[in-house]
Amino acid sequence: MARRADYFIKSLGKGFKILRAFTPERPELTLTEVADIVGYDRATARRFLYTLEDLGLLEKTGRRFFRLSPKILELAHTYISSLHFPDIAMPLMEELREEFNESVNLGVLDRNEIVYVSRVPAKRIIGMNIRVGTRLPAHATSMGKMILAYKPFRTVKAWLGSKLERYTENTITDFEKLREELNMIKERGYSINNEELEAGLISIAVPIKDYTAEVIAAMNISTSTSRHSVDDLVKKFLPRLNEVAEKVSRQLAYKGDWKKY
């Protein structure tokens, strides 16, 4: 059997690295900026930029700047459309939002990040700047920890890298403590984010399982400490959140037992 390194196409990997250089914080970049960010020389960066432009994945703005093109959204839409469980979950998520007036989210794991694939925000004038496609660090989020809890810890460590970044004083930055946290999450069946990503932000997440009993996603309810406590997450939100997650999982043909609260 061929090893992964035997068929990895380095040029494709380099092109993808160029695309990842563009973020919400830096939506437009010059050739020099891209080269500095990805660590390529200007000639190499230039070839990749113009190739990606010819493919329609990048576009020029003025004479010097590049940015992602709308064609990127086609790829994202294709991926999200292939995940039929967001369509199943959406009406149930809307019910939860109406019941609690808090944001309800659905996310999948991409190695060290949780990716939002569906979101029903609370009906408030001011809210978090989170949208479908937003990526957040898995180890500092309730949905991320929920899915990581069902992965072998050696895989978790490989995905998270050598260092766990700190975002608040509550962020878990020690791998042994993370292991203990994930074991507890798997045993009790839900995950809590207690101001680990941002001060004042708390959330509770439960798993979404498919017909193979694999945890393919997580659903959470997020709120702030100005409105609710961590105890509220468990006592008020968890029973209904868990009920909705089970309904979604059953529609995905999950046949196993489901923990009740």
pLDDT of residue 224: 93
pLDDT of residue 252: 87
Q: Which tens digit of pLDDT belongs to each residue from 248-261?
A: 999 888 999 999 98
At residue 145 the predicted structure's pLDDT band, cuts being 50, 70 and 90, is very high
Which residues, 6 or more positions from 28, have their beta carbon under 8 angstroms from its beta carbon? 22, 61, 65, 66, 67
What is the residue-averaged pLDDT of the chain? 91
At residue 62 the predicted structure's pLDDT band, cuts being 50, 70 and 90, is confident
Q: Which domains does the chain have, with CATH numbers?
A: 4-70 (1.10.10.10), 83-251 (3.30.450.40)
Q: Looking at residues 28-54, what average pLDDT do you find? A: 95
* 126, pLDDT greater than 70: no
pLDDT of residue 232: 94
* 129, pLDDT greater than 80: no
* 1, pLDDT greater than 70: no
Q: At what angle do helices 10-20 and 31-38 cross, to 10 degrees?
A: 120
pLDDT of residue 5: 62
At residue 2 the predicted structure's pLDDT band, cuts being 50, 70 and 90, is very low
pTM score, whole prediction? 0.75
Q: Which tens digit of pLDDT belongs to each residue from 84-102?
A: 888 889 999 999 999 999 9
- Please name the amino acid found at residue 159: W
* 125, pLDDT greater than 70: no
Strand 191-194 relative to strand 65-68: parallel, antiparallel, unpaired?
A: unpaired
How distant, in Å, are the alpha carbons of 4, 195, 199, 260 from that of 226? 49, 12, 11, 28
Q: Looking at residues 51-62, what average pLDDT do you find? A: 92
Question: What are all long-range contacts of 108-111, with beta carbons under 8 Å and residues at least 24 apart?
Answer: 108/83, 108/147, 108/216, 108/217, 109/138, 109/144, 109/147, 109/148, 110/135, 111/138, 111/159
What is the Cα–Cα distance from 168 to 163, expressed in whole angstroms? Answer: 15
pLDDT of residue 124: 67
* Burial (CB count within 10 angstroms: exposed 0-12, middle 13-18, buried 19+), residue 36: middle
pLDDT of residue 15: 92
Q: Which tens digit of pLDDT belongs to each residue from 180-238?
A: 999 999 999 999 999 999 999 999 999 999 888 999 999 999 999 999 999 999 999 99
* 172, pLDDT greater than 50: yes
Q: Looking at residues 67-96, what average pLDDT do you find? A: 82
What is the Cα–Cα distance from 69 to 211, expressed in whole angstroms? Answer: 37
From 205, 206, 188, select the one nearest 196 (Cα to Cα): 205
Check residues 94 and 25 and name the one with the higher pLDDT: 94
